[in-house]
């Protein structure tokens, strides 16, 4: 019996040593510049001053004014509004705000600005801080390594306008992404009133979103025609004819659309 116990103990010791080695390995760079740290510590949510070593700072090309995979598009002034309203909003995973402790914020946005790219698109570039924990260390490692790559926003807005007839998208008969006299129909989001959260997502409804390190390259031209062809399939139909207007929460992640009952019913339930 004794030798058997010893043989069991030995691999366990090795296992522990390996785990300790992994834990002690290099953590991702903080990338928190001094002026960023000052902004973070000025946020009302921060209850005790943080040092640069205690946080990770990462940026997100969060949203732009170009057409999404589903034919929605936010008007350009809305992008400016988002860059302002997002400050103080949480960073979530997959728009999940309900799943207990797992749905609590991983980080929070402390800065936002407008950025224009050479292709003419206008972006909200948002900056978030993540207090260093085992969880955020893992998330940031996955961000830096490219596994967690895309972002998605959740906002409130006043009006969804049809680009063809310029009336309320919920009342007209046009369908986003369908062609009318050679022009694609777009559902234009007007009157952004609030920013609820920024999520890390497997794939965003907006094209070209990404998470970045402060010093990482900024992509100038993002190939828009790619991946997930099903996200471009028309599913709107005349779904809103005679139906109560859906809630005005706009969640541009397909994942989240599938997760929210009311919207799911309208968008997917009666093709």
Q: By C-beta, is 93 or 162 nearer to Zn ion?
A: 162
Give the Å distances, CA to CA, from 253 to 9, 236, 256, 265.
Answer: 48, 15, 5, 16
Q: By C-beta, is 74 or 160 nearer to Zn ion?
A: 160
User: Cβ(83)–Cβ(124) under 8 Å?
Assistant: yes
Q: Does 114 bind Zn ion (CB under 5 A)?
A: no
H-type helices in 69-161, by residue range?
A: 76-85, 134-144
Q: By C-beta, is 148 or 164 nearer to Zn ion?
A: 164
Q: How far is the CB of 209 from Zn ion (least distance, A)?
A: 27
CA 165 to chain centre: 31
Q: What is the DSSP string of 13-67?
A: HHHHHHHHHHHTSPPPP----HHHHHHHHTSTT-SSPPPGGGEEEEEEEEEESS-
Q: By C-beta, is 155 or 162 nearer to Zn ion?
A: 162
Terminal-to-terminal C-alpha distance of the chain: 68
Q: How far is the CB of 106 from Zn ion (least distance, A)?
A: 39
Q: By C-beta, is 27 or 238 nearer to Zn ion?
A: 238
Q: How far is the CB of 172 from Zn ion (least distance, A)?
A: 3
Q: By C-beta, is 130 or 240 nearer to Zn ion?
A: 240
Q: How far is the CB of 113 from Zn ion (least distance, A)?
A: 34
H-type helices in 104-218, by residue range?
A: 134-144
Q: Does 87 bind Zn ion (CB under 5 A)?
A: no
Q: By CB under 5 A, what part of segment 140-199 binds Zn ion?
A: 162, 164-165, 172, 174
- Torsion angle of the four alpha carbons 62, 68, 70, 71, in this order, in degrees rounded to the nearest 10: 140
- The position carrying tokens 């909003």 is 89
Q: By CB under 5 A, what part of segment 243-262 binds Zn ion?
A: none
The site for Zn ion, by CB under 5 A, has a size of 5
Residues that bind Zn ion (CB under 5 A): 162, 164-165, 172, 174
């Amino acid at each position: 019996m004794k030798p058997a116990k010893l043989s069991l103990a030995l691999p366990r010791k090795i296992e522990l040593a390996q785990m300790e080695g992994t834990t002690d390995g290099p953590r991702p760079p903080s990338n928190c510049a001094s002026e960023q740290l000052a902004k973070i510590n000025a946020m009302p949510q921060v209850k005790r001053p943080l040092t640069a070593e205690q946080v990770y700072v990462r940026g997100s090309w969060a949203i732009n004014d170009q057409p999404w995979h589903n034919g929605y598009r936010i008007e350009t002034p809305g992008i400016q509004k988002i860059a302002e309203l997002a400050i103080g909003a949480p960073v979530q995973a997959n728009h999940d705000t309900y799943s207990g402790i797992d749905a609590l914020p991983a980080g929070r946005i402390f800065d936002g600005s407008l950025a224009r790219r050479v292709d003419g698109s206008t972006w909200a570039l948002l900056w978030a801080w993540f207090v260093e924990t085992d969880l955020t260390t893992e998330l940031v490692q996955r961000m830096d390594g490219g596994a967690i790559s895309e972002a998605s926003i959740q906002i409130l807005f006043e009006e969804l306008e049809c680009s063809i007839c310029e009336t309320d998208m919920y009342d007209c008969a046009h369908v986003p992404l369908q062609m009318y006299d050679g022009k694609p129909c777009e559902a234009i989001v007007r009157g952004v009133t609030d920013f609820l959260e920024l999520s890390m997502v497997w794939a965003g409804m907006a094209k070209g979103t990404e998470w970045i390190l402060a010093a990482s390259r900024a992509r100038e031209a993002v190939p828009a025609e790619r991946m997930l062809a099903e996200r471009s399939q028309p599913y709107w139909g005349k779904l809103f004819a005679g139906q109560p207007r859906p809630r005005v929460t706009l969640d541009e992640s397909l994942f989240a659309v599938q997760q929210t009952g009311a919207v799911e019913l309208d968008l997917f339930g009666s093709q």
